[in-house]
Amino acid sequence: MTQRCAHLDHVHDVRPKTPDGCEECLAMGSDWVHLRLCLECGHVGCCDDSPNKHATKHFHATRHPVMRSFERGEDWGWCFVDELYMEPAPRATGEPAPRAAH
């Protein structure tokens, strides 16, 4: 049986607060490896392979459970609470799926 994320009600049609990179790393002048987008508030944080792990720190500080990759060409999400990988990434109700690149 396939597990389903129990926190999809936290997914909203968000816009990235800092589309140019990790909010905290930009402020402190630090580097990151990959970016993640909080689907509850639009926070952009760096991944756990990055030195500062701001996406996970954002979850622990806010309890916003669902994020997605904020990397071009990637369409997957993660629920921190359920520890569940989702492909494709979850979308807000009524939000269209991304168009395929041509």
Query: What integer pLDDT is reported at residue 93 of this predicted model?
Result: 77
Q: What does the pLDDT average to over 12-17? A: 97
Query: What integer pLDDT is reported at residue 3 of this predicted model?
Result: 82
What order of strands is seen across the sheet that includes strand 84-86? 44-46, 35-38, 66-69, 77-79, 84-86
The fold for domain 8-86 equals: Herpes Virus-1 (3.30.40)
How far apart are the C-alpha atoms of 71 and 77, rounded to whole Å?
11
Whether residue 36 contacts residue 68, with contact meaning beta carbons closer than 8 Å, is answered with yes
**46-88 pLDDT per residue, tens:** 999 999 999 999 999 999 999 999 999 999 999 999 999 999 9
| Residue 102: pLDDT over 90 | no
Q: Using DSSP, state whether 10 is helix, strand or coil.
A: helix
Q: What does the pLDDT average to over 24-33? A: 98
How far apart are the C-alpha atoms of 17 and 2, rounded to whole Å?
33
Which pLDDT band, with edges at 50, 70 and 90, does 101 fall under?
very low
What rounded mean pLDDT belongs to the chain?
92
